[in-house]
Structure 1
Amino acid sequence: MTGGAQRWSSDTPLPITDFETVLTTTRAVRRRLDLDRPVPRGEVLDCLRLALQAPTGADAEDWRFILIGDPGVKLAVGDEYRRAFDREVRPRLPGLLAGAGPADAAGAGPEAAERRRKARVYGGAEYLADNIHRVPWLVLACATRPYPGPHMAPSVFGSVFPAVWSFQLALRSRGLGSLITTLHLRRPEGLAALLGIPAGVTQCALLPVAYTLGTDFRPAARRPVADVVFADVWGRPLDGTGEEDDR
């Protein structure tokens, strides 16, 4: 495709094969997860098969994934996730949701728009916490290495997250949605005991997986490249076009 990704519409056949469209329309999906439509297990496994082509540190393939579909196990995992949400986020919700009203009620201007955006995000987070057990599948991504502490954590997570993102892209191409959640990782021992995860394994992310309610996702409004990319050293702007010539 040339000229940028185009909005995907309901009459576009699945799978979505245009790479730029998949890249620019893979969103973190919360409220638009279809909690009632079953997802074939083989569809999720096929997306994981594609995800395992991602690069991994030292070519170690030290990733492991727990695919959770049993309703009782999902309910228990959901309870653990909701406890983390109740502990870490829910007490702050009244303030976080204060800007959730329409523009005429919450005010105008960039600050009010940012408040509304954050309110939508946290409202979606609350919805997910209360319903995560209802998704067709939960996928827990792990690394077969013990957590080494903050100084070496990037090596562990950096070896697993390329596969996690590839998994999300593969899901998107098939009309499925997901998002990366890490809230429970503040106390990972809960899921470790529940799922029989042995000592020395690091939990990296929990992803709910479901078909999406509609498929008309669009590229997000992001800051221009020139606002977030520096040339050679921190703070040095790119040239006036926002692009660097090949060197």
Structure 2
Amino acid sequence: MDAETVLTTTRSVRRKLDFDREVPQSVLDDCLRIAQQAPAAGSMAAQFRWLLVRDAGAKAEIARYNRETAEASWAKYGHLVEKRALESAQYLVRNLERVPVLAIPCMIGRPPADTFSQSAYFGSAYPAIWSFQLALRARGLGSSICGYHLQDHEADVAAVLGIPDDVQQISLLAVAYTTQRDFRPAARPGLATTVYFDTWERTAPDA
């Protein structure tokens, strides 16, 4: 699969995850080695960690905490979400314990308070997360970020998994093989409405 195809067809896969197919650790290792090459600010690459969860009991507890927060959020804001997107998210959250692997990217050290440092902190994590997702896609696997628990149950999940207090969970990814191979580029706003030149909302460069 060429790079452009991987970059334009890596979707948040929820309904098309294969809950019954085992994900070999060797495949995850390959993807994680690629993720380790993502750009990071300063020494923050050394602070990044992955926690892979396969244990059925731990996954069930994590899924319960995710559902608790997600269901409360949907009850309050679900009417604002496009029906198809909401149903897709609900499907994954309500089946989260069935996903073969839950991958939790973490950072040693809690997030800083100021905006500049936060940019470097989270900006050093998400390139690795995205690289991991791209590597999974290239190998026929899918993933979806599903970190509802971070809103009010991060400490509860940390207790389940033995994560120390000074470690921040950045996200949670559901990882599995996909039940279909081909995905299409998504509909996105065009460059004419999203790219500005020199000043805000100037939509054309100098001639």
TM-score when scaled to structure 1?
0.78
Distance, in Å, in 1 between the alignment partners of 2:111 and 2:49 is 15
Instruction: Quote the residue 1:154 is aligned against.
Output: 119
Distance, in Å, in 2 between the alignment partners of 1:214 and 1:169 is 16
- 1:178 aligned to which of 123, 143, 146: 143
SS at match of 2:120: helix
Q: Offset of 1:59 from its aligned partner? A: 4.0
Correspondence 1:34-183 to 2 at 5 A: 34-61=18-45, 62-93=47-78, 95-96=79-80, 118-149=82-113, 151=115, 152-183=117-148
Structure 2 unaligned blocks of 5 or more: none
SS at match of 2:64: helix
SS at match of 2:67: helix
Distance, in Å, in 2 between the alignment partners of 1:218 and 1:172 is 12
SS at match of 1:179: strand
Q: Offset of 1:163 from its aligned partner? A: 0.3
Q: Offset of 1:29 from its aligned partner? A: 0.5
Q: Offset of 1:137 from its aligned partner? A: 0.3
Percent identity, aligned pairs only, is: 45
Number of residue pairs the alignment of both structures matches: 204
Distance, in Å, in 1 between the alignment partners of 2:65 and 2:101 is 16
- Report the CA distance shift for 1:194/1:150 in structure 2 as closer, same or farther (over 3 A): farther
- Partner AA of 1:155 in structure 2: A
Q: Offset of 1:91 from its aligned partner? A: 4.9
Structure 1 unaligned blocks of 5 or more: 1-15, 97-114
- Report the CA distance shift for 1:77/1:150 in structure 2 as closer, same or farther (over 3 A): farther
Range 199-208 or range 20-29, more displaced: 199-208
TM-score when scaled to structure 2?
0.92
